[in-house]
Amino acid sequence: MTKVPTTDIERCLGQIEELVRAGCALVRIAVPRRADTAALAQIVPRVGVPLIADIHFSPARAIEAIEAGAAKIRLNPGNIKSRDDIYRIIDAAKAHDVAIRIGVNEASIRDLTREPVPLAERVDLMLAEMRQYVQLFEDRGFERIVLSAKTSDVLRTIEVNRRIAAAFRYPIHLGLTHAGLPEDARIPSAVALGTLLAEGIGDTIRVSAAGDPVIETAMAVEILVALGLRERRRPELIVCPTCGRTEIDVVKLARQVEEALRRIEKPCRVAVMGCVVNGPGEAADADFAVCAAKDKAYLYRHGQRIATVPEAQIIPKLLEALAAS
Ligand code: SF4
């Protein structure tokens, strides 16, 4: 999701480009005001990915976004006051062949009841709300829908999505909402989304974290790559955990290798190992391995030693070997 004002068209375009470069296949964009949907109309023809307009409360913004060329709108029908307004949005989406993501989240469940809802009942209520909205869309003859139910809790996210997958036949968007700062969001997001994706649940994902959306995207891509759902486009660095055999600063060496690999665009597996006793064997499935000894390292390619290099030459020699492969 973009995180600059949509009306700042050039910055918005720049961020979309960064997100696409980082691996985004579709980008969500906030359109809280009339000026934002007007900006969206100018942005759509200048980008190569589908844009999703994020709608809160306003039927007018939803219809404007549809007319502006959004590929999909994200809507929580519970935020739209009248059924007629929801029907107007559905009709506009139908006329423009635009999809609608029906979003339900725990916070809106709380708002609807005006009472704190016990944890044990929240998933049931989210599911009931989703069922009611899906029915509303189907009654209007609209089935280009994507379902998403979000909570900030890992277990409830897994449970509600499993139940949605069992109950409905529509695509599902996954996300763990308000997951925190990137360092805090990484593991809960990977557990929640990874568990569901491994079960075959989920068609699109978003990792939510405060700050740079490129970091969110990188995390999402990592999850997909780890599950074999996305091909790795860049080198993968594996590093041994180190032990009493380690004679050099492996973390420092791994950081140097990581930095050097940032410039490499091809997918490959590079290992940094802290010894020459077990390192070569443990890194045998890596494309390249640096097995460090005191003041020097042995360089391996596909399990075969190709060079012995002094410490200062480790990075240049590794890059040379990568370039030659
Ligand atoms: S590769 Fe060597 S240093 Fe690293 S954990 Fe294994 S035995 Fe220890």
Q: What is the pLDDT of residue 19?
A: 97
**Best mutation site among 240, 247, 253, 294 for ligand 1, i.e. most ligand atoms within 8 A of its Cβ?**
240
Count Cβ atoms within 10 A of the Cβ of residue 48 and give its class: 0-12 exposed, 13-18 middle, 19 or more buried: exposed
Distance (Å) of CA 78 to CA 108, 110, 112, 136:
7, 11, 8, 12
Task: From the CA of 243, give the closest atom in ligand 1.
Answer: 8
Ligand 1 mean position, distance from CA 273 (Å): 6
* Cα maximum dimension of the chain: 74
pTM: 0.86
- Using CB distances shorter than 6 Å, the residues near ligand 1 are 240-243, 245-246, 273-275, 277-279, 282
Q: What is the pLDDT of residue 111?
A: 54
Task: From the CA of 283, give the closest atom in ligand 1.
Answer: 1
Q: pLDDT tens digits for the chain (325 residues)?
A: 999 999 999 999 999 999 999 999 999 999 999 999 999 999 999 999 999 999 989 999 999 999 999 999 999 998 898 999 999 999 999 999 999 999 998 877 755 556 677 777 889 999 999 999 999 999 999 999 999 999 999 999 999 999 999 999 999 999 998 778 988 999 999 999 999 999 999 999 999 999 999 999 999 999 999 999 998 888 999 999 999 989 889 999 999 999 999 888 889 999 999 999 888 898 889 999 999 988 899 999 999 999 999 999 999 999 999 988 8
CATH number of 9-226: 3.20.20.20
Q: What is the pLDDT of residue 125?
A: 92
Task: From the CA of 276, give the closest atom in ligand 1.
Answer: 2
Q: What is the pLDDT of residue 313?
A: 94
**Best mutation site among 238, 243, 251, 291 for ligand 1, i.e. most ligand atoms within 8 A of its Cβ?**
243
Could you say which DSSP state residue 22 is in?
H
**Best mutation site among 238, 239, 245 for ligand 1, i.e. most ligand atoms within 8 A of its Cβ?**
245
Shortest-distance Cα residue to atom 1 of ligand 1: 279
Ligand 1 mean position, distance from CA 296 (Å): 16
Ligand 1 mean position, distance from CA 284 (Å): 13
Task: From the CA of 282, give the closest atom in ligand 1.
Answer: 1
Single-letter amino acid, residue 323: A
Residue boundaries of the structural domains of the chain: 9-226, 237-324
- Would you say 276 and 298 are in contact if contact means Cβ atoms under 8 Å apart? yes
CATH number of 237-324: 3.30.413.10
Q: What is the pLDDT of residue 145?
A: 98
Tokens of 27: 């980008």
Range list of H helices, the chain: 9-22, 34-43, 59-68, 83-96, 106-113, 119-139, 154-167, 182-198, 213-226, 250-261, 279-282, 314-324
Distance (Å) of CA 222 to CA 189, 245, 257:
11, 31, 19
- Would you say 146 and 173 are in contact if contact means Cβ atoms under 8 Å apart? yes
**Best mutation site among 250, 272, 273, 276 for ligand 1, i.e. most ligand atoms within 8 A of its Cβ?**
273
Alpha carbon 228 to its chain's center: 14
Rounded Cα gap, residues 318 and 299, in angstroms: 7
Ligand 1 mean position, distance from CA 262 (Å): 25
Q: What is the pLDDT of residue 113?
A: 57
Distance (Å) of CA 86 to CA 8, 58, 133, 172:
29, 10, 10, 20
Rounded Cα gap, residues 39 and 45, in angstroms: 11
Shortest-distance Cα residue to atom 5 of ligand 1: 242
